[in-house]
Amino acid sequence: MNDPLAQLAAEAVADPDLTYFAFAAGARSGPRVPPLMPTSAALPEVLCGRYRIERLLGVGGMGAVYQACDLLREQFGDPQPYVALKTLGEDFAEYPDASALLYSEFALTSRLRHANVVQLHAFDIDPLSQRAFITLELLSGCTLDRFIDEHPAGAPWGDAREIGLALLEALAHAHAAGVLHGDLKPSNVMVGDQGLRLFDFGLGQAQENRLPGLPQLCRSRFAAWTLRYAAPELLDGEALSAAADIYALSCVLYELCTGRHPFRRLSGKQARAMQLQAEASVLAPPIARALQAGLAFDPARRASLEELLQAFRTAPQPSSRLMRWLGRWPA
């Protein structure tokens, strides 16, 4: 298959956990920044004469993230000269305005300062290859999807509570700063020695009337979602909203607490059509109520982040592991 986007779409169908991208035809307006020169060259070994690529850390639907050595820091004797370097996948890098996507991720994330949100260093363009890239804090540990896989019956409540609160607080901070994430899912969260970090605001956008002047990606031109975590109204064509982020995060939290996707890995639209309800009996009642409300198909009836935070802060500890295994919780 020659068309990289068609190929990505095919991969997304084969793996529903992959983000699905489409440059929809008939755009009314593109990004307001002039397109950067397209590039199809392979990634150079050293970018901007400063960042030496050392190894691939991970690939997502759009980008590839490498460990790089910052030669400038190394020259000044910094014992930890390593950074993470994110660039678009080679297929994507060919598209003239694709770098604007990466800049959007940089512009949104760099406005956030929170212990549970990844810290960005810089956006840059390698002058020789014209390759755009972001440098950011190098994270260690594992992504939350691996952590969930390792706990097929759900994470122990102490861990689930700690991770849940960190994620809810990270998202509350982003929303308060006017930033919507747009692609909350376990593979966009890292847990490790440095604590929890939410990352990949690549499909994020500023809330309406916030951060004017930033290049706005036009979602009617660029539709993107991960089916399993996309709120049903997004799949109906509605704009990204804080409520859509809350739906996705509630899916993630439900998976974390139970080891299972709330709707058998179906999309929100399918689950709504089948009138499914996330099973509550395996969860402490206040958490079950909060997550069911976070997963409401109607965005107007969905729980707020404050309600979810309150439930995670105050839910009782199960009195014994046995009780938890039996699914019997203190009232």
Ligand X SMILES: Nc1ncnc2c1ncn2[C@@H]1O[C@H](COP(=O)(O)OP(=O)(O)O)[C@@H](O)[C@H]1O
The catalytic residues are 183
Report, in this order, helix, strand and coil percent for the chain, each rounded to 5: 35, 20, 45
| Rounded Cα gap, residues 180 and 244, in angstroms | 9
Nearest to residue 186, comparing CAs of 151, 242, 220, 229? 229
CB of 62 to ligand X, least distance (A): 4
Q: Going residue by residue from 19 to 58, which x/- string records binding to ligand X, judged by CB under 6 A?
A: --------------------------------------xx
Which entry of Mg ion, ligand X, none binds 199, CB below 5 to 8 A by partner kind?
ligand X
CB of 245 to ligand X, least distance (A): 16
Whether 118 contacts 199, CB under 8 Å = yes
Binding of ligand X by 118 (CB under 6 A): yes
CB of 24 to ligand X, least distance (A): 19
DSSP characters over 258-272: HSS-TTTT--HHHHH
| Rounded Cα gap, residues 59 and 39, in angstroms | 19
Which entry of ligand X, Mg ion, none binds 87, CB below 5 to 8 A by partner kind?
none
Considering only residues 39, 99, 135, 188, which one is a binding residue for Mg ion as defined by CB under 5 A?
188
Q: How far apart are the first and last CA of the chain?
A: 56
Q: 86 a known binding residue? A: yes
Cβ-closest residue to ligand X?
A: 60
Token pair belonging to 42: 């392979």
Query: Which value, to the nearest 10 degrees, does the dihedral of the CA atoms of residues 310, 312, 317, 318 take?
Result: 120
Binding of Mg ion by 143 (CB under 5 A): no
Whether 201 contacts 108, CB under 8 Å = yes
Given the complex with ligand X, which of 82 and 280 has the nearer CB atom? 82
Considering only residues 200, 233, 245, 255, which one is a binding residue for Mg ion as defined by CB under 5 A?
200
Q: Which stretches of the chain bind ligand X, using CB under 6 A?
A: 57-63, 65, 84, 86, 118, 136-139, 143, 187-188, 199-200, 202
Q: Which stretches of the chain bind Mg ion, using CB under 5 A?
A: 60, 188, 200
